[in-house]
Amino acid sequence: MTMIRPFLMFQGGVAAEAIALYVATFDGAVLTSVPHAEPQHGIQLAELVIKGQHVLISDSAVDHAFDFTPSTSLFVDCDDREELERLTAALGAGGKTYMPLGEYGFSTAFAWVGDRFGVSWQLNLA
């Protein structure tokens, strides 16, 4: 079976914090595996399922000269306005707002935020 899964590589040992935010923020999010977690290097590899999407998460043991960019984002279709507002507030807290929650030509309700870990989220009312 061929699968394509997003892979989020964090720096600074914050993967566990990011996972905790995502599990607390998304209803039904499930951490399916954390085969290796080391105190000095953090999470070697974890798999999180958010709204049916499998996402791999890791702490890099090596410092890199790059990090996340908003041009690559996770696009989430929300079931209702309440969910959209909740996700926008939770994921945007301590992060950045690229497009505030509003009505745009392509959507009646949409927001684009970067969370405090640098991961970019496009949130759309389905």
Residue 27 has pLDDT above 70, yes or no: yes
The pLDDT value recorded for residue 102 is 98
**Token pair for 50:** 């958010």
Secondary structure, 3-state, 4-55: CCCEEEECCCCHHHHHHHHHHHCCCCEEEEEEEEECCCEEEEEEEEECCEEE
Rounded to two decimals, the pTM is 0.91
Residue 105 has pLDDT above 90, yes or no: yes
CATH number listed for the domain at residues 7-60: 3.30.720.100
Residue 94 has pLDDT above 90, yes or no: yes
- Selection from 5, 121, 12 nearest residue 70 by Cα: 121
What is the chain's mean pLDDT, rounded? 93
Match domain 73-125 to its CATH number in 3.30.720.110, 3.40.50.10440, 3.20.20.70, 3.40.640.10: 3.30.720.110
Within the chain, all domains assigned CATH 3.30.720.100 are found at: 7-60
**Token pair for 62:** 């090596």
Residue 38 has pLDDT above 90, yes or no: no
